[in-house]
Chain A
Amino acid sequence: DAGVTQSPTHLIKTRGQHVTLRCSPISGHKSVSWYQQVLGQGPQFIFQYYEKEERGRGNFPDRFSARQFPNYSSELNVNALLLGDSALYLCASSLVLAGFGEQFFGPGTRLTVL
């Protein structure tokens, strides 16, 4: 079975632009979470979606938004990009919302904002 997949792998944007990142969870997983990992730091939680509903949101501005589709794939959108948005964006899927709910991470999308 395929693991969590993310696209694109790398992306270069300029300040003020908009970006859309995509994630496909492991087959059968209904929960998708997004994390931002700035260079030299641990990942920070952005969003969690379960059954197409937002179930959790981290301390990120409204420029960040996400959605989950009926096939449980997800998009992360970032508007009005800032230099500080340059980071590795990780998607994680899990079978359930709660419980042990081990989260399986994808390879990430590396975003560079110039």
Chain B
Amino acid sequence: AQKITQTQPGMFVQEKEAVTLDCTYDTSDQSYGLFWYKQPSSGEMIFLIYQGSYDEQNATEGRYSLNFQKARKSANLVISASQLGDSAMYFCAMREGRLSSGTASKLTFGTGTRLQVTL
């Protein structure tokens, strides 16, 4: 079974509009972390935002916010006021297990969503 599911292969949004990128996850761990990364055509993965499973409030970082619905196992990324430079691939990822366990910080990624911002 897919641990991270991103059902939107591609999305279009007009400049200055908000857009939501979907992510659902599957884990039996109580302690886990959810990440969103941006990957421009250059290939480098750029960290955007993090949500811990025990965090009570949704994470926000500037124009990025994470709509975390634990019961639904979803962690959607909301980008407000889209800019042309936001055009890129966006990946949702999960790290399972207790964050202090000393086990590997393995990230499991989804297949990504390609976002295109238009004028």
Which A residues form the contact surface with B (CB < 8 A)?
Answer: 31, 33, 35, 40-45, 48, 55-56, 58, 88, 90, 92, 94, 97-108, 110
A-contacting residues of B (Cβ < 8 Å)? 4, 33, 37, 42-47, 50, 52, 91, 93, 98-112
> Count the A-B residue pairs with Cβ separation under 8 angstroms: how many?
77
State whether A94 and B105 are in contact (beta carbons under 8 Å apart), knowing that A100-B99, A105-B45 are contacts in the complex.
Answer: yes
Chain A neighbourhood of B98, CB < 8 A = 98
Assembled-state Cα–Cα distance A44/B108 (Å)? 7
Interface majority SS on B: helix, strand, loop or mixed? loop
Bound-state Cα–Cα, A59 to B118, Å: 39
B45 and A97 contacting across the interface, CB-CB below 8 Å? no
Compute how far the CA of A104 lies from the CA of B109 in the bound complex, rounded to whole angstroms: 15
Contacts of B108 in A (CB 8 A): 45
Given contacts A42-B4, A42-B111, A44-B109, is CB(A107)–CB(B99) below 8 Å?
no
From known contacts A98-B101, A107-B43, infer whether A42 and B106 are also in contact, taking CB-CB under 8 Å.
no
Task: Determine if A108 and B43 form an interchain contact, defined as CB atoms under 8 angstroms apart.
Answer: yes
Cross-chain contact B99 with A102 (CB below 8 angstroms): no
- Provide a sorted-by-A list of 15 A–B residue pairs whose CB atoms are within 8 angstroms: A33-B105, A33-B106, A41-B111, A42-B112, A44-B109, A48-B104, A55-B102, A58-B106, A90-B43, A92-B45, A94-B105, A99-B99, A105-B44, A105-B47, A110-B43
Residues in chain A near residue B102, CB distance under 8 A: 55, 97-98
| Cross-chain contact A106 with B104 (CB below 8 angstroms) | no
| Cβ-closest 6 pairs across A and B | A56-B104, A42-B109, A105-B45, A48-B104, A108-B43, A101-B105
Cβ B105 vs Cβ A107 within 8 A? no
Q: Which of A40, A44, A103 contacts B105 (CB 8 A)?
A: A103
